[in-house]
Structure 1
Amino acid sequence: MHRNGVYSESYIVNMIGFINTKNDSIYQNVEIVTVFYDTGSFSSVTEQVRTVGYTDEVARGHYDANKENPIMGMYPTVLNPKSRGEILLRSKDPKAKPLIYPHYFSDEKGEDLETFLEAIRFVEQLVATEEFRKHEPQLVRFEIPICDGLAFRSDDYWRCAIKQMTSTIYHPVGTCAMGPENDGKAVVDPRLRLYGVKNVRVVDASIMPTIISAHTNAPSMMIGHKAGR
């Protein structure tokens, strides 16, 4: 009411939107996470660029843009990716960190990349609306050396930038997927019991056979509640 106090503003993520870039369904295929940084919010910017693992050049672009102006980051997320990653054991040592290969944009038809491009075009249209134009927004081009020879905002430029800047938002699933025993990729049965090992269950987002079209925290709690009954 008074616009002050700990609940008067959100933390890093200010707004989340779910859209369908193809307008062919009531179900969303893209999430857009919006993050606002007031002028000189270097600590918040640093936290963001470290979290997603941006290169030094891209991180520097954030800092330069934020020196004298507030910036708004709009981060599209493909909700139903066709690409599939893999996780492998590094060694027999149970304490050794596993090998994680996300395999972004590895789907044969390239659908994930095109969905990403559609999401960026949506953001461009959003920024061009009357409400946004009141604030005189400008799209900032970050330094991405491999994309330097491409016209800014062209399809080829965005495809290049997408491949260089894509990261995780830490909602992976399916590394211990639930499925029938005759499925070579299934790890647990419908009661979450680990195949081939007695008295062991897996109860987290890893048992989801496919990823959901939203964040995984609430469904993970539901899985835990169901397994505990």
Structure 2
Amino acid sequence: MKESIEEILYKGANEINVSLTLKEIELFKTYLMELKRWGSKTNITAIHDDLEIVIKHFIDSLSPLKYIPQDSSLLDIGSGGGFPGIPLKIANPSLDVTLLDSTLKKVNFQKHIIRLLRLNNIKALHGRAEDKDVHGKIGSTFDVVISRAFSGLGGFLSIGEPYLKRDGLLIAMRGREAKRELTDNEETLIHLRLAVVDIVEFYLPYLSEKRSLIVFSRQSS
């Protein structure tokens, strides 16, 4: 028998050691419906299959959850359809989340979802992280800076690092070539004085597609 969206959300989250409440599952269902409705008109996402949206967007977005402390301020660079920032906020309401994207229609979608799901302490900003005006407003203010498929690894580290507080964490959500990317960016790590805290490779539930998480912190002086 075909599994329901609720079952896929619950089981998929469990497989990456995340527990979702019934309320959170309902929020994800609403998010799914709106993503499909907007996506058919505005190309918010190229994925339209329910299972793929749930796993590739929602469950994948939840994979860094254990690395993000309670009550953290989090910046999601290149958030697109709200990933991973909105799923992380749903699963951990204590987070203070800022979504940043350079495409206005995507920012408008993010704002719509925030209103519809009645999420507090989360905002969507239109702009580029590399712009001085954006950095001037929100630079050096975040406990966690995260991105999923924004730029190459070196680009993300260079652009994201200036937004961190002194003891903050950078989390890069990457694909199957994460270790090679790390090797290719050794000079960037040295220049930015970043250290690898953890690197995790895993496979998405149901789809068995390889993903990687790389967590960075600033090196001690």
What TM-score does the superposition give when structure 2 sets the normalisation length? Answer: 0.26
Larger radius of gyration: 1
**When you count strand as a share of all residues, which structure comes out higher?**
2
What TM-score does the superposition give when structure 1 sets the normalisation length? Answer: 0.25
